[in-house]
Amino acid sequence: MLMIELIGIQKQFQGQDVVHPLSLSIKEGEFLTLLGPSGCGKTTILRMIAGFEQPTEGEIWLAGQQVTDVPPNKRDLNLVFQHYALFPHMTVEENIAFGLKMKKMPKSQIEERVEEAVTMTQLTPLKARYPHQLSGGQQQRVAIARAIANKPKVLLLDEPLGALDLQLRKNLQSELKHLQRALGITFVYVTHDQEEAMMLSDRIVILNGGKVEQIGTPREIYAAPKTLFAATFVGENNIFSSPEGLFAVRPEKISLAQADSASARKTGVIQDVQYFGNVHKLMVQLEHEPMRVTLALDLADDHTWQIGDVIGLNWEDKDQVVIGS
Amino acid sequence: MKKANHPLLGIHYVLMMVFIYLPILMIVIFSFNNTRLSGNWEGFTLDWYVSLFSNRYVMEALGNSLTVALVSTVVSTVLGTLAALSIRKWSRKGRAGLNGLLYLPVIIPDIIMGLSLLVLFSQMKIDPGKMTIIIAHITFSLSYVYVVVSARLANMGRQLEEAALDLGASRWQTFRHVTLPQISPGIIAGALIAFTLSLDDFMISFFVAGPSSTTLPIYIYGQVKRGVSPEINALCTLLIIVSVILILLAQYVLNRGRGQKKHKMLPM
């Protein structure tokens, strides 16, 4: 079943296109990520779905109903704000109960729902605290608990982990994924972090300058980027130009060859060596071309590389991904 | 690291404080002086405070002052808060313009405010009295309430209200449960400032007061023309104490409402 349908939605601010016409269907229970650099329009799209922005053109459908002109408080979805937007004058419990209270749900049922949300987000010991008495990660959890207590059809998340440090992000990423599977509700997630998008999503929409660059599963986007932007924004890539146009080769698809031999497509000088433990990377300056190539070698390679070594590079034809100019 | 404090800085500080507070201190000290002829210290007494409260004219002026302050505070607080709330819906340009207009009474010299109101009232054939003073006080208090409340609103931002709407609250519920609790420290502080300003105002009241509507500052001015009496010193001391307490209270409410956020002074 389709949960969200965006039909040719478009947003202009003062005559400028912030979001170019966009059509997109999101399935029930899907984890969809809008990925792109700041200013690419991803938050505007999310806010249009939530109802805080009106599309200049186009329609928004939610669970089979047109909601384009429906105000945010009448849409059966919830938004987790970037800076959480917890009510400072309410305790954790009151924050979570807020939406249910506003809908005049019976008290016993509110308690039940709050209990459920609190357990799910491991907030039980913090119920009586105020937001300013919580750490960033805990506030984040409250924001999510407050949203899921309403049992919305869709949860919208606007860079929910953006303000947290790296280790906490990693932990919360897996928690989020786990939560989404357990609840089975549709997630629309906004982030500029490509690794996060790859790890969490069923499908990713890559946006740049208000335009869709590519829509696909993480695997499709990594293995077969359609545009130059998609090829370089997600993961590392080497972009070569040939008479037929541009093509990309991932660092791990490049193998070593005898320098200047017939089996070497390119020859170059090692400029830098980076060890990561599981892989190591060589940065190679090509001969005759003003270009640096990165290649990633796995553990099977036990050669000690020196800066200044001359090496040959090779790859298979099938690993050349042709991209639009 | 230890802060290097030059001894001259300390002296400068003391001199500055003396400069600011000596006149006020004199009034406070002489309000306890056991003599009618101010000048020499003749021992401590509370007589002047006692006689103050048995003085019919003082009590009448106090009654007038409190009536004017209460009514003008309530009206200006409501109007100033509504202005701050509604102006948020305006475009950036319109907001800047209206902001300027609402700030203006803070800057316009009191004497001009007073004079222009006097001209207005006489043109409209409104007899000077408590009513005219109340209207005059509303006009300047409103601006202060507006400034404090709109600063509070700007500080709050839009996200909390959006979150409330997103969670299913209606516009009214959002205002009642989120906006109002968030800006209430601003509203209370604004009201306390309005009350203090009304209680202390002399210049504007002087222009628009009638014979039966003497407020405390006007009464004091009238008395001083016949020489400074110890009762006046006592009355001034009480006014100072009340004003300071009200302003400190406003400051406290504002800071507490700000929660964990940075300490800020009133925009006065």
At B261, the pLDDT band (50, 70, 90 cuts) reads: very low
Chain A (56-75) residues lying within 8 Å, Cβ to Cβ, of chain B: 71-73
Kindly tell me if the per-residue pLDDT of B38 is higher than 70. Answer: no
* Res. B227 pLDDT band, cuts 50 70 90: confident
User: pLDDT grade, residue B267 (50/70/90)?
Assistant: very low
Q: Is A315 helix (H, G, I), strand (E, B) or coil?
A: coil
> In the sheet that A2-13 helps form, which strands lie side by side, from edge to edge?
A16-27, A2-13, A57-62, A65-66
Q: Please check whether residue A81 touches B, CB under 8 A.
A: yes
CB-CB contact of A28 with A62 (8 Å): no
CA distance A121 to chain B (A): 18
Tens digit of pLDDT per residue, chain A (325 long)? 899 999 999 999 888 889 999 999 999 999 999 999 998 999 999 999 999 999 999 999 999 999 999 999 999 999 999 889 999 999 999 999 999 999 999 999 999 999 999 999 899 999 999 999 999 999 999 999 999 999 999 999 999 998 888 888 888 898 899 999 999 999 999 999 999 999 999 999 999 999 999 999 999 999 999 999 999 999 999 999 888 888 999 999 998 888 778 888 888 999 999 888 888 889 999 988 888 899 888 877 777 888 988 999 999 888 989 887 5
Q: Which residues of A154-189 are buried (b: 16+ CB within 10 A; e: fewer)?
A: bbbbbbbbeebeeeebeebbebbeebbeeeebbbbb
Rounding to the nearest 10 degrees, give the CA dihedral for residues B226, B231, B237, B238: -120
The verdict on a CB contact (< 8 Å) between B168 and A52 is no
CB contact under 8 A, B162 and A103: no
User: Which chain A residues are Cβ-neighbours of B167 within 8 angstroms?
Assistant: 73, 78, 98-99, 102, 146-147, 150
Task: Please name the residues in contact with B156: beta carbons below 8 A apart, sequence gap of 6 or more.
Answer: B179, B182, B183
DSSP A141-196: HHHHHHHHTT--SEEEEESTTTTS-HHHHHHHHHHHHHHHHHH--EEEEEES-HHH
Across the interface, whether the CB atoms of A87 and B178 are under 8 A apart is answered yes
Q: What pairing do the DSSP bridges indicate for beta strands A154-158 and A186-191?
A: parallel
Chain A (216-245) residues lying within 8 Å, Cβ to Cβ, of chain B: none
Whether A51 contacts A75, CB under 8 Å: yes
- Written as one letter, the residue type at A73 is N
Contact A88 B167 (CB under 8 A): no
* Six-digit token string for A251: 């660092």
CB contact under 8 A, A52 and B259: no
Question: Which pTM does this prediction carry?
Answer: 0.81
Question: Is residue B64 a contact partner of residue B77, using CB atoms and an 8 Å limit?
Answer: no
- Residues from chain B that touch A81, judged by Cβ atoms under 8 A, are 159, 162-163
Token reading at B6: 């030059």
Q: How confident is the model at residue B99 (pLDDT cuts 50, 70, 90)?
A: confident
**Is residue B107 classed exposed, middle or buried when 0-12, 13-18 and 19+ CB atoms within 10 A define those classes?**
exposed
Residues of A in contact with B164 (CB under 8 A): 87, 98, 102
What does each C-alpha distance from B254 to A7, A293, B260, B261 come to in angstroms?
48, 59, 12, 11
Residue of A nearest to B179 (CA): A87
As separate numbers, helices (DSSP H) first and strands (DSSP E) second, chain A gives 8, 18
- Chain B residues with a Cβ under 8 Å from any Cβ in chain A: 159-160, 162-170, 173, 177-178, 181-182, 259-260
Q: Could you report the per-residue pLDDT of B123-178, keeping only the tens digit for each?
A: 999 888 899 999 999 999 999 999 999 999 988 889 999 999 999 999 999 999 99
Closest chain A C-alpha to B164 CA, distance in angstroms: 7
pLDDT at B264 over 70: no
Do residue B164 and residue A102 have CB atoms under 8 angstroms apart? yes
CA distance B232 to B216: 10
Q: Does domain B55-265 have CATH number 1.10.3720.10?
A: yes
The shortest CB-CB distance from B166 to any of A72, A88, A89 is to A72
Find chain B residues with C-beta within 8 A of A79's C-beta.
162-163, 166
Which among B166, B170, B181 has the least Cβ separation from residue A89? B181
Quick one: which of A231, A269, A277, A276 has its CA closest to A250? A231
| C-alpha to C-alpha distances, A77 to A156, A180, A190, A312, nearest whole angstrom | 7, 14, 15, 55
pLDDT at residue B192 in the model: 92
Give the pLDDT of residue B258: 57
More confident residue, B38 or B167: B167
Which residues in chain B touch residue A50, judged by CB atoms under 8 angstroms apart? 166
Spatial distance between the Cα atoms of B114 and B133, rounded to a whole number of angstroms: 10
Q: How confident is the model at residue A304, as a pLDDT? A: 80
**B261 contacts: CB under 8 Å, gap ≥ 6:** B155
Tell me which amino acid residue B240 is. Answer: I
* Chain-chain contact of A87 with B160 (C-beta, under 8 angstroms): yes
Q: In this complex, do A146 and B167 lie within 8 Å of one another by their Cβ atoms? A: yes
Please report, for chain B, the start and end positions of each structural domain, with discontinuous segments joined by +: 55-265
Residues of chain B positioned with their CB less than 8 A from the CB of A150: 167-168
Spatial contact of A172 and A122, defined as CB atoms under 8 Å apart: no
Chain A positions in Cβ-Cβ contact with residue B168 (cut-off 8 Å): 73, 99, 102-103, 150
pLDDT at B85: 92
A103 touches chain B (CB under 8 A): yes
DSSP 8-state symbol, B33: B
Best residue in A70, A79, A82, A89 for a mutation probing chain B (most B CBs within 10 Å): A89
Other beta carbons less than 10 A from residue A239's beta carbon = 15
- Specify the pLDDT at position A325: 54
Interface check A29 vs B, CB under 8 A = no
Q: What was the pLDDT predicted at B134?
A: 95
CB distance A8 to A66 below 8 Å: no
Q: Quick one: CA dihedral B60, B61, B64, B70, positive or negative? A: negative
On whether any CB of chain B is under 8 Å from the CB of A13, the answer is no
| Record: contact A132-B169, CB cut-off 8 A | no
Report the chain A residue with the minimal C-alpha distance to residue B256.
Answer: A89
| Residues B175-212: tens digit of each pLDDT | 999 999 999 999 999 999 999 999 999 999 999 998 88
Sign of the dihedral defined by the CA atoms of residues B72, B73, B79, B80, in that order: positive
3-state class of B168 per DSSP? coil
Query: Which residue does chain B place closest to A72, by CA atoms?
Result: B166
A-B contacts (CB, under 8 Å): 58
Residue type for position B21? Y
Count Cβ neighbours within 10 Å for each residue of B153-171 and write b for 16 or more, e otherwise. beebeeebbbbbbbbbbee
Backbone angles phi, psi at A208, to 5 degrees: -150, 125
Structure confidence at residue B257 (pLDDT): 63
Measure Cα distances from A118 to A111, A141, A171, B183 in Å: 10, 9, 18, 29
Q: Measured between alpha carbons, how far is B217 from A79 in angstroms, rounded to an integer?
A: 56
Could you give the C-alpha distances from A24 to A197, A205, B62, B237, in angstroms and in order? 18, 9, 71, 73
Rounded to the nearest integer, the mean pLDDT of chain B is: 87
Minimum CA–CA partner of B181 in chain A: A89
The larger pLDDT score, comparing residue A110 to residue B37, is at A110
